[in-house]
Structure 1
């Protein structure tokens, strides 16, 4: 494909025309075009050679056509011709066709089929690291796709064409201008690249308006773009230096790519100057895809310089301030580089290195990786960005929006749902948002309570006090530019209102990885002086005042409910009421109920409740629970069972709130 030299081979070789060879020697012509990376031309010649080729040569030709399509990043077509070569038993003489077949199947996301071909290849050539890595990639890619990250990826339809659009770079410090590479019509260089059958690549620029809409891309001037291919750009923070890749062509000569540098001149740019990074006499080698640290002390770039780990590696060069030139490049080493290709580096202001690789374990083709700064000009702890940033196709050239904490930005992908060959994509990691809806109701009537004070206390030390509306609710959503409910935080909710007992609830966002709405419904018990409140049943032995605790019931547990109510409402003073049924004398029942009330108070005092917050009151048989439970009525009931149930309802322990303004001794006040 047209950009392939910049992203894979990083050099452009001008292929010798087919007229050099006899018209009928198509195989030789095709091989020569393939050697010179003129894949588009090679395919046509191979197809002509295939017509009269013998079976063994036919198998080789189909394999070579598959190679052309693979190198043009057209895995579906590559699969077709690899399959033909395998059917013609090419794998018996060249098992590499099995490895290549696995690769292109992986690039299409057919991971299970790819696994099978990797295994077939490894059975013929055991121990090949690239195949073992490919096999591992297939297994991990299936897991990553089943468990995607939360990123949202979108095609930038306004910017993309049916041609190649790739390698975005910021064109200004505000990040409102984007520079990218494209093979769209209108390039500076005339003619068609016989590698792809399309125009040559140039650098284009676009600016977005305050609504986020990108303007019509404009081609950069001829001081930047030439008749050759340009791409892989980087603009420094000040906007006064543009670094980019240029791949010059020279007839019958293998000339690699170089990094060029230009400065603004008025509204245009000065003639670009080549940065010398190659050893003397190494013109066929390539350097490209520059990125610089924020101080411009060093530059990281991709190259096939000697002494690397294999394929294209990432290298670093320091700026020599005294000599005013770039120093001898150093390889970033095996923690970053592999036997495959590492390209398209991008440094964040925080020193994090992003790059693309087909050598680290990935999902297929080039994947985007993240590496932490582990020392001075050293990086490690490489991490795959996973799906959906990465896909089974080529994904590369990532950049980030200003002040986005690496959560928004742009990158390039050849994924099939794109508008063209390779497209520019935007991505963002939506903020995990938590919303809390609090609803408060009257416990007795189930009606909403307005004017309730809600206190929200977080484990992070935060405290927010709000009031319910007429519907008895308050919604904690946005708090200006911030949010009320934060990640990895536990919260307590307390509600209070005059003449009601307080209520509490709690929830937590700890461990939550998705946005979530929390709904908390709290019920407040009316507690005016004329309201008597039930709580779990307290029982006593017959004719006894001691709290009944046996295998059947633990009255202390029942009183613990009241204890918690007093703790949760530290300003209330209560009357603790004990009642008996109507059997026995009034005087006796009055004294027994008083002793029972005192037993309850004594237990609560033992738990730490101040005695002056409780008034024990024995009501004896004077206050039946409800109409219909008077002694006369009970005596007229038909059965003893009915009578016993009614008597039990009257033998109860309750409380009512006498005041809401209790202050402990020594706490001050009037």
Structure 2
């Protein structure tokens, strides 16, 4: 694609077919061989139209002209035209000469988002060249194209940076100052240094330009870099700076007729604000025909990563690294970054993230299309990176995307060849931004005794970590909700912590809950459930005992210890709570024996919570209440319920009234309804909790009486 043309001396593949030496074919071959793809497309198409299909040689020549027309369109990124000419070449069976006609056709269809056609061409290429993994990568990219989206990217906002871009090529942004308010980039716009067109791109030769940001965060009109010998009639492209912004590294791709010269890296020292001294070429390659470019330099300016086709790579362009040695005033022999980073495709445009990770672009890994931007994690303090992860959409598109540079922790810039507003697939600079994360808060207030009962008109107060507060009252559904303030600002913001408290007459104030957005990198709807403790006995889960005993009953019907874990959880949730734990008996048996039995049962619960669960003994007061405090339940005729029956919305059902389970009431069912008689007696045999205080202080609280762990003999 264009980036390959701009950054490297592209070596076009030539067929071994004996060419008919017609005037049109000769001119077409000459243009194509010189990489003048702009004119070669028309010349090859004309030669194709003049050739006949008669005879094997003529057919092969015609097929070759169709292929070279397609290649010229592909290499100048006219994708639709390229597919049309690849299809002509395929009809003429050019795949017998060069199977790549299928692969390149698949690549074009993938860029055009015509997945079925792309898949068919990848499969045909794979049949002919089963050992080429590029077909597998293409097929995997098609099958997983919808998965290359991550949490971060889905929220990103991407916009064309119209204050900088033109109708020409604009690419590879990089900041040249510590405050990151000066952007350097390559551009082929008008008023560039050279006067000729680059025959490989149909554009002006590229120069390095610079733009400054004004106090409002807008980019001023770009200007050419001021420096002797920086911009020339050759292509100058990607740029990098050391941490001080005093040393600039940039790519230059010389264009000398009849010479195969690859790109080079040059370095220049600052001569003042946006002014640069005469550059010097870095000696990094053993032969002029090789390419080095896309510099990425460390803060101290002594470690350099670059893209190159140096021998010993994995294919295409690889990322290499070299280190500056002060004693010899030279750079060490480049070292390949290895297979964890490099692929059989093109790996290029490296930049450092603010945390030391490595951004780079590759077409050798499954992705969305063309070059995709990946992020590789830095390993320790060494100059090593691993586990490259596709940045996903909308950073990456079906076209080439590359040269990403972070600006702040929320913004950055990159180059993309996605279709712009003028409908062309030319490199433009895009800005990405992570919009503020959106948070809201919903508080639901319920009754601790009856979780399905929602409490209306409860006062909810929220306090932020800066001491600011706001409040609201729950509705009939027991909820209150906050998202935006009348000003449009949000109540819950990034990197904030909030404490929520609830109160209402007739209830103990809730200890509250805490939420935080610190470190959250995604939207969040906070839902907080808070239960208010009514100022009346707390109904605890059923605890059973053997007849006339106080052992905690554990059998196939009940695990009384599990029931008591409710008390443990309650005391854990409210660390300031002091709870009266009372046990009750039914009215059968003598009043004296029932009193002692209830005390023993309360002590048994106390023993379990203190000895087995580790609750501070000073936080529980066990009380035996015998048969003297019958339970209050709800009644409708001869139907009884422990809690007030309610509808699905938590509203009380009509006709139900409170009823006290006195001995007289229960005995009225002894002859007429034995099952109900036994059940009501059982309901009176219960354990309840009563909040005595919510301000327990371990430093000042007195010791618990030793008698709480004593058990008395039950009188007969």
Give runs of aligned pairs for residues 152-191 of structure 1, distance below 5 A: 152-158=156-162, 159-191=164-196
Decide whether the 8 Å contact of 2:354 with 2:406 is kept in 1: no
Distance 1:604 1:294, change over 3 A: same
CA distance in 2, matches of 1:355, 1:284: 24
Question: For 1:250, which of 242, 246, 256 is the aligned residue?
Answer: 256
Range with greater deviation from structure 2 (221-230 or 389-398): 221-230
2:548 is the counterpart of 1:515 = no
Question: For 1:40, which of 31, 38, 48 is the aligned residue?
Answer: 38
Deviation readout 1:466-507 (Å, 9 max, x if unpaired): 99835277989989873338xxxxxx9998999628678899
CA distance in 1, matches of 2:238, 2:344: 22
- Alignment-derived partner of residue 238 in structure 2: 232
CA distance in 2, matches of 1:607, 1:391: 64
- Alignment-derived partner of residue 317 in structure 2: 312
Structure 1 residue 174 displacement after superposition: 1.2
Structure 1 residue 636 displacement after superposition: 8.4
- Alignment-derived partner of residue 126 in structure 1: 130
Range with greater deviation from structure 2 (502-511 or 192-201): 502-511
Structure 1 residue 411 displacement after superposition: 1.5
SS at match of 1:640: coil
Gaps of 5+ in 2: 13-20, 54-58, 475-479, 484-489, 611-616, 634-657, 704-716
CA distance in 1, matches of 2:565, 2:69: 83
CA distance in 2, matches of 1:24, 1:409: 53
Question: For 1:640, which of 672, 690, 699 is the aligned residue?
Answer: 672
- Alignment-derived partner of residue 616 in structure 1: 624
Deviation readout 1:355-380 (Å, 9 max, x if unpaired): 22233444432222344556997545
CA distance in 1, matches of 2:581, 2:343: 80
Distance 1:10 1:355, change over 3 A: farther
CA distance in 1, matches of 2:255, 2:470: 74
Distance 1:570 1:268, change over 3 A: closer
CA distance in 2, matches of 1:322, 1:664: 68
- Alignment-derived partner of residue 638 in structure 2: none
Decide whether the 8 Å contact of 1:150 with 1:430 is kept in 2: no
Decide whether the 8 Å contact of 1:577 with 1:619 is kept in 2: no
Larger RCO: 1 or 2 (CA < 8 Å, sep 6+): 1
Distance 1:120 1:555, change over 3 A: closer
CA distance in 2, matches of 1:350, 1:510: 19
SS at match of 1:233: strand
- Alignment-derived partner of residue 483 in structure 1: 496
Decide whether the 8 Å contact of 1:580 with 1:589 is kept in 2: no
- Alignment-derived partner of residue 20 in structure 1: none
Decide whether the 8 Å contact of 1:437 with 1:475 is kept in 2: yes
CA distance in 1, matches of 2:550, 2:254: 104
Structure 1 residue 202 displacement after superposition: 1.9
Structure 1 residue 275 displacement after superposition: 0.7
Give runs of aligned pairs for residues 449-528 of structure 1, distance below 5 A: 449-450=458-459, 469-471=471-473, 482-484=495-497, 500=508, 514-527=522-535
Give runs of aligned pairs for residues 242-641 of structure 1, distance below 5 A: 242-267=248-273, 269-270=275-276, 272-277=278-283, 282-348=287-353, 351-372=356-377, 379-388=384-393, 389-402=395-408, 404=409, 408-416=411-419, 420=424, 421-428=426-433, 437-440=442-445, 446-450=455-459, 469-471=471-473, 482-484=495-497, 500=508, 514-527=522-535, 531-537=536-542, 561-562=566-567, 565=570, 568=574, 571-574=577-580, 576=582, 578=584, 580=586, 590-591=591-592, 593-609=594-610, 610=617, 613-620=621-628, 626=658, 640-641=672-673
Structure 1 residue 177 displacement after superposition: 1.7
Structure 1 residue 301 displacement after superposition: 2.2
Give me the TM-score of the superposition, normalised by structure 1.
0.78
SS at match of 1:469: strand
Range with greater deviation from structure 2 (651-660 or 465-474): 465-474
CA distance in 1, matches of 2:628, 2:120: 86
Gaps of 5+ in 1: 13-22, 457-462, 486-491
CA distance in 1, matches of 2:545, 2:232: 100
CA distance in 2, matches of 1:315, 1:544: 82
Structure 1 residue 152 displacement after superposition: 1.5
Distance 1:286 1:579, change over 3 A: closer
Distance 1:199 1:650, change over 3 A: closer
CA distance in 2, matches of 1:668, 1:541: 34
CA distance in 1, matches of 2:570, 2:277: 82
Range with greater deviation from structure 2 (366-375 or 431-440): 431-440
Decide whether the 8 Å contact of 1:151 with 1:427 is kept in 2: no
SS at match of 1:607: helix
Decide whether the 8 Å contact of 1:441 with 1:448 is kept in 2: no
- Alignment-derived partner of residue 7 in structure 2: 7
Question: For 2:24, which of 9, 23, 26 is the aligned residue?
Answer: 26
Decide whether the 8 Å contact of 2:438 with 2:523 is kept in 1: yes
Decide whether the 8 Å contact of 1:181 with 1:201 is kept in 2: yes
Deviation readout 1:105-148 (Å, 9 max, x if unpaired): 23334445333322222222332343344444444445435999
Decide whether the 8 Å contact of 1:245 with 1:257 is kept in 2: yes
Distance 1:129 1:480, change over 3 A: closer
CA distance in 2, matches of 1:562, 1:437: 27
SS at match of 1:126: coil
Range with greater deviation from structure 2 (55-64 or 651-660): 651-660
CA distance in 2, matches of 1:621, 1:133: 78
Task: Give aligned pairs, total.
Answer: 634
Structure 1 residue 207 displacement after superposition: 2.3
- Alignment-derived partner of residue 659 in structure 1: 692
Decide whether the 8 Å contact of 2:631 with 2:660 is kept in 1: no
2:110 is the counterpart of 1:106 = yes
Structure 1 residue 558 displacement after superposition: 5.1
Structure 1 residue 167 displacement after superposition: 0.9
